[in-house]
């Protein structure tokens, strides 16, 4: 397998683990009859942070983007990624997120069947706003993703100042990113559920639409553009801002 193939496989595996564990903690908290039922938003924050830890660790070969906003933010910051590499990352991230969501459904199949609320089922797969206002929801996602990508680029430049690795993040380590995601969720996650990752939301939303989930209701495609466009804009803005604000060592 060539280098691009290994990068693709690494990103698929890492993003699948990220989504399996991230969607899994939501399922544990919101689907009835689970032992974690009612665990609360902070449990979801920590679960997603640990999901990021697992995903980043598993995707060490590719540098663990796991997120189109990170990939595009790195491009905007000046990372040396070809057009082909960018599409490999984006495709792998979406596929991995879809696979992780399907595995989550398999793990919680009986609980999905027993749950009567369609909104709870959709909430396992994708994000949704606490107060639906597309413009403000979009801004919230931009801000949250800006924080994620800007700090990630800062970590990466300290560890890899010449941006020479395939991902620009190989020296970062999983724990700082995991803690950053927990912090973003705790501080900025309330309004929208903090997608901060287009693949994390779109891949599972597609899985929700396709899977034979009993009484699942709508996949809320009217909202789906927000957790795609908001993180992309936030990531690119963070990459551009990193040029003057995070100078190379």
Instruction: For the domain made up of 3-245, give the CATH fold.
Output: Glycerol uptake facilitator protein (1.20.1080)
CB atoms within 10 A of CB 135: 8
Closest-CA residue to 145 (of 77, 230, 205): 230
Inter-residue contact 192 to 127 (CB < 8 Å)? yes
pLDDT for 1 equals: 66
Residue 167's pLDDT band, with cuts at 50, 70 and 90, is very low
Domain map (residue ranges) of the chain:
3-245
- pLDDT over 50 (residue 72): yes
What pTM does this model have? 0.93
CA dihedral (66, 199, 93, 80) positive or negative: negative
Please, what is the average pLDDT of the chain? 93
Q: CB of 69 within 8 A of CB of 231? A: yes
Structure token pair of residue 85: 């590499």
Cα–Cα distance for residue pair 103/66, rounded to 1 Å:
17
H or E stretch at 47: helix 41-58
pLDDT digits (tens, 9 = 90+) for 203-235: 999 999 999 999 999 999 999 999 999 999 999
- 63 pLDDT more than 60: yes
Q: Which pLDDT does position 64 carry in this prediction?
A: 93
**Percent of the chain residues topping a pLDDT of 90:** 88
Residue 158 has what pLDDT?
65
User: pLDDT for 11-36, tens place per residue?
Assistant: 999 999 999 999 999 999 999 989 99
């Amino acid at each position: 397998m060539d280098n691009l193939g290994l990068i693709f496989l690494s990103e698929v595996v890492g993003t699948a683990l990220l989504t399996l564990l991230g969607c899994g903690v939501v399922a544990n908290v919101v689907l009835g009859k689970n032992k974690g039922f009612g665990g609360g938003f902070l449990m979801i924050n920590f679960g997603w942070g640990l999901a990021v830890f697992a995903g980043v660790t598993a995707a060490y070969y590719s540098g663990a983007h796991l997120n189109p906003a990170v990939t595009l933010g790195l491009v905007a910051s000046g990372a040396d990624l070809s057009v082909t590499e960018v599409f490999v990352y984006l495709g792998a991230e979406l596929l991995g997120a879809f696979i992780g969501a399907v595995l989550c459904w398999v793990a919680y199949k009986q609980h999905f069947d027993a749950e009567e609320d369609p909104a709870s089922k959709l909430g396992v797969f994708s994000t949704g706003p606490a107060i639906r206002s597309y413009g403000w929801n979009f801004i919230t996602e931009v801000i949250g993703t800006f924080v994620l990508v800007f700090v990630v680029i800062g970590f990466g430049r300290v560890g890899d100042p010449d941006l020479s690795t395939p991902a620009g993040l190989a020296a970062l380590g999983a724990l700082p990113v995991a803690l950053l995601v927990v912090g973003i969720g705790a501080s900025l996650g309330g309004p929208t559920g903090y997608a901060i990752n287009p693949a994390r939301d779109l891949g599972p939303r597609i899985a929700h639409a396709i899977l034979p989930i009993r009484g699942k209701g709508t996949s809320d495609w009217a909202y789906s553009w927000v957790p795609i466009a908001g993180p992309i804009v936030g990531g690119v803005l963070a990459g551009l801002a990193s040029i003057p604000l995070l100078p190379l060592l």
